[in-house]
Amino acid sequence: MPKNFTLLMTLAPYKGIRDPKVHVTKFESMMFLNSDSDPILCRSFPTFLDGAALLWFSSLPTGFISSFDEFAKLFINHFAASKIYVQDSDYLDTIKQGQHESLKDYMTCFTIAAMEISYLNPKVQLHAIKSGLKTGKFQEAIAVTKPKTLEEFKDKAIGQIEIEELHEARRNERPAQKEEEKTS
């Protein structure tokens, strides 16, 4: 290893669960700042393995790996089944706003899932987010106004979230006011 080399320990070890391609991409991004030397990448990568992934690596014959690209492909192929769920646009159809879930929480959950999907068509995303709304005034307003873009939908959602937060604040004020009246 070069004398000025420092291994950043900001990447959580891969244990054989989650998407292996994401782990390799994060590792490569982290190492880009330090070194792009093939031997250094090959020697550093096992540092970020644990559990089943480390056992798998330890079982590889000595000298089996000739390049980091080859190693990364082997790693990704071996752990390909470790993705928790298939990340495609069909998954978004399974995300529904719960009956007592705030719009803000639903939007956060949906957005996190959507960010995980590569090449997501914005029209598919818009359809899925509207389809997942719980029955109520906001869903009816969206059906009437028919936002054509995600931006239009998000603008309307922001307004509704502000209304929900105002109602929640008022509900929380009432018990405090009643408590004050009792003690007066």
Whether the CB-CB separation of 17 and 84 falls below 8 Å is answered with yes
pTM: 0.54
43: Cβ contacts below 8 Å, ≥ 6 apart: 1
Measured at the CA of 124, the angle between CA 121 and CA 129, to 5 degrees, comes to 125
Complete domains list, the chain, with CATH: 20-82 (no CATH), 89-183 (1.10.1200)
Q: How far is CA 158 from CA 92, 100, 108, 163, 174, in A?
A: 20, 18, 12, 9, 25
Q: Return the residue matching tokens 């009792």.
A: 182
At 72-131, the pLDDT tens digits run 999 999 888 776 555 678 888 889 999 999 999 999 989 988 887 878 899 999 999 999
Q: How far apart are CA 36 and CA 92, in angstroms?
A: 37
Phi and psi at residue 153, to the nearest 5°: -60, -45
What tens digit of pLDDT does each residue of 38-81 get?
788 888 888 889 888 899 999 998 888 888 899 999 999 988 87
